[in-house]
């Protein structure tokens, strides 16, 4: 038993520590150890990394990687999901879609699907060959001003979306949140994350354009 507890960082005299004297991280590691001792073959974990310290998080990842059964995990911690998952389920209004990979695999497939759905533009007409290469035109002062305004607007949108993302994550992690409400919050969080991804890309493109114009 002591060797088992040592896997959860309870070594030496710490293996005999009273529960009421444990820190939050120690109590979380103890709860995980008790869960695995139950020899269940199916675990349901809802935001398991919330409020875990770094050591407890590492113990949880190691325990799940060595778990012989199936674990159904709901989490917004993408790094944790990448480390422990090999199947990702996406909940959509049409139903549940299964992806045979971790979070990054799901993200790549989602981007491929979005790219395939975009309308295909006709190829541009071939450029006429000129004896001298044309110098790229610089942005006019008005164009620079409009792009600076767009950057400021995007920064406000990103700040608001990030705050909403954090608020949704907290609501999802709350124990009193019901199943139907959790589903609604998850769908809204997904929309907010897609909006953030688009805003990040546009901000980077506009900022690069302004930077190149200054060179």
Domain boundaries, the chain: 2-90, 138-214
Pairwise pLDDT comparison (147 vs 25), residue with the higher score:
147
**How do residues 99-142 score in pLDDT, each as one tens digit?**
999 888 988 888 888 887 766 666 666 666 554 555 556 778 88
Q: Using CA atoms, how far apart are residues 213 and 215, in angstroms rounded to an integer?
A: 6
Residue 112 near residue 105, CB atoms below 8 Å:
no
Helix, strand, coil percent values for the chain (each to nearest 5): 60, 10, 30
Q: Which residue has the higher pLDDT, 154 or 19?
A: 154
Residue 184: per-residue pLDDT: 86
Write out the H or E segment, with its range, that includes residue 70: strand 70-74
Over residues 165-192, the pLDDT tens digits come to 888 888 877 778 888 888 888 888 888 8
Q: pLDDT, tens digit, for every residue of 32-58?
A: 777 777 777 888 888 887 766 677 777
Q: How far apart, in whole angstroms, are the C-alpha atoms of residue 32 and residue 17?
A: 16
Residue 197 has pLDDT above 60, yes or no: yes
| Per-residue model confidence as pLDDT tens digits over 73-94 | 988 888 888 888 999 998 888 8
Average pLDDT, integer, range 187-209: 86
Does position 201 have pLDDT exceeding 60, yes or no?
yes
DSSP string, 73-120: EE-S-HHHHHHH-S-EEEEETTEEEEESS-HHHHHHHHHHHHHHHSPP
Residues 42 and 67: beta-carbon distance below 8 Å: no
Q: What is the pLDDT of residue 87?
A: 92
- Name the residue with tokens 């929309």: 191
Q: pLDDT tier at 161 (50, 70, 90 boundaries)?
A: confident
Task: Provide the CATH topology of domain 2-90.
Answer: Rossmann fold (3.40.50)
Give 128 or 162, the one with higher predicted confidence. Answer: 162
pLDDT band at 1 (very low <50, low <70, confident <90, very high): low
106: left (phi over 0), alpha (psi -120 to 50) or beta: alpha
């Amino acid at each position: 038993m002591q060797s088992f507890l040592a896997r959860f960082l309870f070594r030496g005299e710490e293996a005999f520590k009273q529960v009421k004297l444990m820190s939050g991280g120690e109590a979380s590691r103890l709860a995980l150890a008790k869960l695995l001792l139950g020899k269940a073959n199916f675990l349901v974990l809802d935001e398991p990394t919330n409020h875990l310290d770094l050591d407890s998080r590492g113990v949880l990842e190691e325990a799940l990687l060595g778990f012989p059964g199936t674990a159904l995990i709901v989490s917004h911690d993408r790094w944790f999901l990448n480390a422990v998952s090999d199947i990702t389920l996406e909940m959509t209004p049409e139903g549940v879609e299964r992806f045979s990979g971790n979070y990054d695999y799901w993200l790549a497939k989602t981007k491929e699907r979005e790219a395939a759905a975009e309308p295909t533009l006709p190829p541009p007409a071939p450029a006429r060959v000129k004896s001298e290469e044309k110098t790229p035109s610089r942005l006019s002062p008005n164009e620079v001003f409009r792009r600076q305004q767009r950057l400021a607007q995007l920064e406000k949108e990103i700040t608001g979306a990030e705050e909403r993302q954090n608020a949704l994550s907290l609501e999802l992690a709350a124990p009193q949140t019901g199943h139907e409400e959790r589903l609604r919050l998850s769908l809204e969080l997904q929309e907010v994350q897609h909006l953030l991804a688009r805003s990040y890309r546009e901000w980077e493109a506009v900022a690069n354009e302004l930077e190149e114009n200054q060179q």
